[in-house]
Chains A and B, each alone.
Chain A
């Protein structure tokens, strides 16, 4: 399949059973639960399995270059909001600080994958399992993007119920 912007199917299943922790939280009978680290990694146009069927981050066709480390960058300033969208549907939404690779030379980035880097080994032996580095979603840049001795910035959408990057309505 081709590169396609989408939330990964396995992620929908995994959040339903509570595998991913975007933020610190508590649960009755449990002590505080710490947030996982989520990262965003970029890939070239050769990464044709970057679509809704992607299950995990792997290094295949990941971009390389000055100031870019394999695995990508951690998402910072994670916030969770709740509000009605324009259809008056209560919507939970996640936002992050923009990601910038400063003073970088990165060539041919065509898409990105957000994934859970805390889960660095596969979870097995349960009713619902997950791969190592399970993926959240694929972001399609629409064209190859490059920086040359400059800055490479991914800007996430406005933080609201209608525009935020990850929304549950």
Chain B
């Protein structure tokens, strides 16, 4: 059998888009979870529920660190801009 994943299944690839900015940490966390953990919809309900709860916990941890990563990256950019004498631009970054 040759098959492209889920022929006719619209969930096979997921498309994420953004406007006036990049993806949010929430979106990135969802993308990470799509790769880390797939829950079989046919799993027995108690097992599936447990898996969903675990998945949510992992997502929250990832989301926290992605958010912190975004902040610390802004700090790096802020410092670089200040070093180059662009205080006004540095302030814009700091306020994000």
A41 contacts chain B at the CB level, 8 A cutoff: no
Q: How far is the CB of B78 from chain A (nearest CB, A)?
A: 20
Q: Is the CB of B18 within 8 A of A150?
A: yes
Q: Is the CB of A157 within 8 A of B12?
A: yes
Q: How far is the CB of B84 from chain A (nearest CB, A)?
A: 21
Per the 8 Å Cβ criterion, residues 63-81 of B in contact with A are none
- A141 CA to B31 CA in the complex, in Å? 16
Q: Is the CB of A152 within 8 A of B17?
A: yes
A158 contacts chain B at the CB level, 8 A cutoff: yes
Check A151/B5 contact, CB under 8 A, given A5-B10, A157-B34: no
- A31 CA to B73 CA in the complex, in Å? 46
Number of A-B contacts (CB under 8 A): 106
B21 contacts chain A at the CB level, 8 A cutoff: yes
Check A4/B1 contact, CB under 8 A, given A154-B13, A158-B35: no
A139 contacts chain B at the CB level, 8 A cutoff: yes
User: Main SS of the interface on chain A?
Assistant: strand
Interface residues on B, range: 20 to 34
- Chain A: which residue is nearest B18 at the CB level? A150
CB < 8 Å neighbour of A140 from B1, B10, B34: B10
Q: Is the CB of B2 within 8 A of A168?
A: yes
Check A167/B17 contact, CB under 8 A, given A150-B22, A158-B38: no
Q: What residues of A have a CB within 8 angstroms of the CB of B40 in the complex? A: 86
Q: Is the CB of A158 within 8 A of B34?
A: yes
Interface residues on A, range: 35 or more
Per the 8 Å Cβ criterion, residues 1-57 of B in contact with A are 1-10, 12-23, 31, 34-38, 40
A165 contacts chain B at the CB level, 8 A cutoff: yes
- A167 CA to B3 CA in the complex, in Å? 6
Q: Which residues of B contact A (CB under 8 A)?
A: 1-10, 12-23, 31, 34-38, 40
Question: What are 21 inter-chain pairs, A to B, with CB distance below 8 A?
Answer: A4-B8, A5-B7, A6-B7, A102-B22, A137-B4, A139-B4, A141-B15, A142-B10, A145-B17, A149-B20, A150-B19, A152-B15, A153-B16, A155-B16, A156-B13, A158-B36, A165-B5, A165-B13, A167-B3, A167-B4, A167-B5
